[in-house]
Structure 1
Amino acid sequence: MENVRWIINDNSRVSGEKANVDAFSQNEISKARNFHKKFDIYEPTPLARLTELSAKLGVKEFLVKDESKRFGLNAFKVLGGSYAIGNFLAEKLEKNIDEVDFDMLKSNETKEKLGDITFYTATDGNHGRGVAWAANQLGQKSVVYMPKGSSQYRLDKIKAEGSDASITDMNYDEAVRLADKNAKATGGEVIQDTAWEGYVKVPMWIMQGYGTLMLEAVEQMEEYGIDAPTHVFLQAGVGAMAGAVQGMIASIYPENRPITTIVEPEVANCIFRSAENKKMTNVTGDMFTIMAGLACGEPNPIGWDIMKDYSDAFISCPEYVAADGMRVLGNPLGNDPKVISGESGAVTSGIVYEILTDENLKELKEKLKIDENSKILVISTEGDTDPDNYRKIVWDGEFSR
């Protein structure tokens, strides 16, 4: 059986020049939140307070941001794609993002000005569905490429949004390059949550869009009487969401910055390997993992620059960690709320559970300074986006230790 591997970043608390996080300040992220608030279906997703579980695990708070309730799409990714498309169209109209809303962007008058636009992207499921949904809502088209081994259920959900979607014979990073190539060949536009040379603006918008969930969490914690979490665990694929939230944490909590840990699947641990090598490092191959949303081999350089300077630890996880997280959240103690969390969504809850119950991880618990006063925040980034697989894991016990 594979073991949990971890690295402590000794430089995260050392003073000196660090990556600029001004783009993720509360003021900047509020622009994204205000844009999302203009959607008719907008409402903050729940912040589940697992009081009985925290007591059992010996910590003060265990908080789970439940993104399965986001816009009826069962995942957080739509926050990034919609905000990026909104910004792109606003620029085409020579307006600022605060001057537009979804109703205006989908009006006949705007459509006549903009003409037909096709948005291209690659996805393991959730990002592509979010882009397809936003394009469809605005009367535009989308083309979505998925890596080999992707779920038919997730593909069908993307197609249901009117997208020309398909499963390729490529891995995720190769599918990204295909989306870029075909967008250029057809005059389309790429909406991708990773960056490369000459392609930075859109990924930055996507990352800022993800920030809406953390602003909500900050407000919800304040309602609970919690001034700040002491620990935050963030899952990473390319590292766009993790980098964005890490940047926000560094900006919002400059004096009492929570201890932050980045979590990845063992077979697609490009951020972990980058931390290990102290430089951006890719992972190649098929990267088959139940955590499909995290099966990415090439780090987002914007996110990596932030994580390497501010994140306190990096963890590479076997499959059972995510599976345990799904089972823990799906079978709550006492009056704790139930959280239906998919494989990629539950890995952070799973690693917290392992750290607090597995004697083999006692040293990591001590290094992270987790104790009875700890207030831990995790983000369940998706619900049961593959229901059949969810049941196999939660009902049938697949991927147990």
Structure 2
Amino acid sequence: MLLSNPHAVRRPYPADLAAIMNIESAKQSQRWLAPWRELARAATPLHALPDLAGKLQVGAIHVKDESVRSPLGSFKALGAPVALVRQVLRLYPAQDIVPEQVLAGRYAHLLQDYTVISATDGNHGRSLAAAARSAGCQCVIVLHAHVSAEREAAIAAYGARIVRITGNYDESVTVAAELARTNDWQVISDTSYEGYQDIPRDVMQGYGTIAAELVEQGAGPDGKSAYTHIFLQGGVGGLAAGIVSYFWELYGINRPRFIVVEPAQADCLYQSALHGRASRALGSIDSVMAGLACGETSPLAWRFLQPAVDYFLTIEDELAIQAMRVLAAGSEADIPIVAGESGVAGLAGLLSMCSNKVCMKQVGLDASSKVLVINTEGATAATVYHELLGISAHAVLAQQNSWKDRHHE
């Protein structure tokens, strides 16, 4: 279901938002994370998909592939770690802390009794656990009932203590906050709530690294974007806010059109646009798009999304699985890509739009459109990936390597 956002504006990036998130801080986060051993040294690839663009009757489609950002398998490797670094700087203002060396373990002697905690659907918790191990502090992760045993094992492998609850994601957020208060632990989350804003801001700011790389890879100079449309995943709104804020500040009134996509049963951002305020989802929350199965919008993220996102779109799970298949299959001109269930939401939204001529016209998609989507995760649950597609991620990677050999990449 598509909703045109009546609150979207086209004006220069507001000063009050720039005081919270800005390009300068995003680039600072990028520099601080660069030495971390859990991150790839190079920018993640930006792939053109000309065959798919022709099939969907748009000018161009590019996909930024975050599946290879890190052994952690997702864009979340940019959020929790930089938030932890910034928190260490706040903890020890009198110390001469070198930000680039926090995740190298230089300050482990200061942090050995410090504990961070977060709720997660999988990827954020894994990234926080990895960052905590690198920095030398303790980590507790709260998992809700729908997080798979495979994702739990991936988090525990980084030394985190796991707390299981029977409820959903939003209930796990509440439990994490309660445990933090009781034990004097620190929540590191991209979900904001009353009295908890700075760290979610830091997490979202970390995601600006993706936008910074896109600009370096040809997203366009100041004032003119190479993309007419950017499709972004929903969730609580953290990723979308991090990307939207960067492109809005850079391009001002010439910013691309932003379309945010989320599961129909976890439509908190769609409901927020309907009501004009950060709201809750109406559905069951449970979705195959596990990383987007969030029931409540982050109020801080909503401050950026309400004035900047042009359309909010909800999709069914089957469309996400279809998008996974499209990327995995590739074509003669389009490289095969391993994309997880949540990673394909933006592309799934594009597929949905392009299956309906009325919707295409409404959002301005045509043969001149230059579309960007972000594959935010790989097969972070390899068993689930195989079950959904009937092919393993390893097999798709083999096809990708064969494609690269044929195209001399």
TM norm. shorter chain > 0.5: yes
Deviation digits for residues 202-245 of structure 1, max 9, x if unmatched?
Answer: 00000001111111112112599x95211001111111111121
Match of 1:384 in 2: 379
Q: Distance in 2 between matches of 1:141 and 1:197?
A: 25
The alpha-carbon deviation at position 324 of structure 1 amounts to 1.1
Q: In the alignment, what sits opposite 1:351? A: 349
Instruction: Please say which of residues 191-200 and 22-31 is displaced more in the overlay.
Output: 22-31
Deviation, structure 1 residue 140: 1.3
Matched to 1:183, the amino acid is: A
Q: Give, in angstroms, the shift of residue 148 of structure 1.
A: 0.7
What residue in structure 2 maps to residue 150 of structure 1? 147
Shift of 1:103: 5.5
Displacement of 1:129 = 0.2
Pairwise CA distance, 1:197: 1.0
Residue identity matched to 1:368? V
Q: 1:192 aligns with which of 189, 201, 224?
A: 189
Aligned length: 386
SS at match of 1:28: helix
1:399 aligns with none
Residues 131-182 of structure 1 show CA distances to partners (whole Å, capped at 9, x for unaligned) of 0000011121111011112111100000001011243201111111111111
- The letter of the residue matching 1:154 is R
How far apart are the structure 2 equivalents of 1:155 and 1:339?
25
d(CA) in 2 for partners of 1:307 and 1:364? Answer: 21
SS at match of 1:119: strand
Report the CA distance between 1:66 and its aligned residue.
0.8
Moved over 4 A (4+): 14-19, 95-98
For residues 111 and 297 of structure 2, the distance between their equivalents in structure 1, rounded to whole angstroms, comes to 33
- Aligned ranges for residues 1-400 of structure 1 at < 5 Å? 5-13=1-9, 20-22=16-18, 23-40=20-37, 41=39, 42-94=41-93, 99-102=98-101, 106-107=105-106, 110-222=107-219, 227-283=225-281, 286-356=284-354, 358=355, 361-395=356-390
Amino acid at match of 2:182: A
What RMSD, in angstroms, separates the aligned Cα atoms of the two structures?
Answer: 2.3
How many percent identity over aligned positions?
32
Contact 2:12 2:252 in 1 (8 A): no
What CA distance in whole angstroms lies between the structure 1 residues aligned with 2:51 and 2:9? 32
| Equivalent pair of 2:265/2:287 in contact (CA under 8 Å) | yes
Q: Is the 8 A contact 2:141 2:162 kept in 1?
A: yes
Paired AA for residue 8 in structure 2: S
Query: Is the alpha carbon distance of 1:11 and 1:179 closer, same or farther for their aligned partners in structure 2, counting shifts above 3 Å?
Result: closer
CA distance, structure 1, for counterparts of residue 339 and residue 110 of structure 2:
41
Change in 2 beyond 3 A, CA 1:223/1:139: same
* CA–CA distance in structure 2, aligned partners of residues 153 and 93 of structure 1: 36
Q: Give the superposition deviation at 1:367.
A: 1.1
Letter matched to residue 129 of structure 1: R
The DSSP-based 3-state class of the residue aligned with 1:233 is: strand
What are the ranges of 5 or more consecutive residues in structure 1 without an aligned counterpart?
A: 397-401
Question: What TM-score results when the alignment is normalised by the length of structure 2?
Answer: 0.89
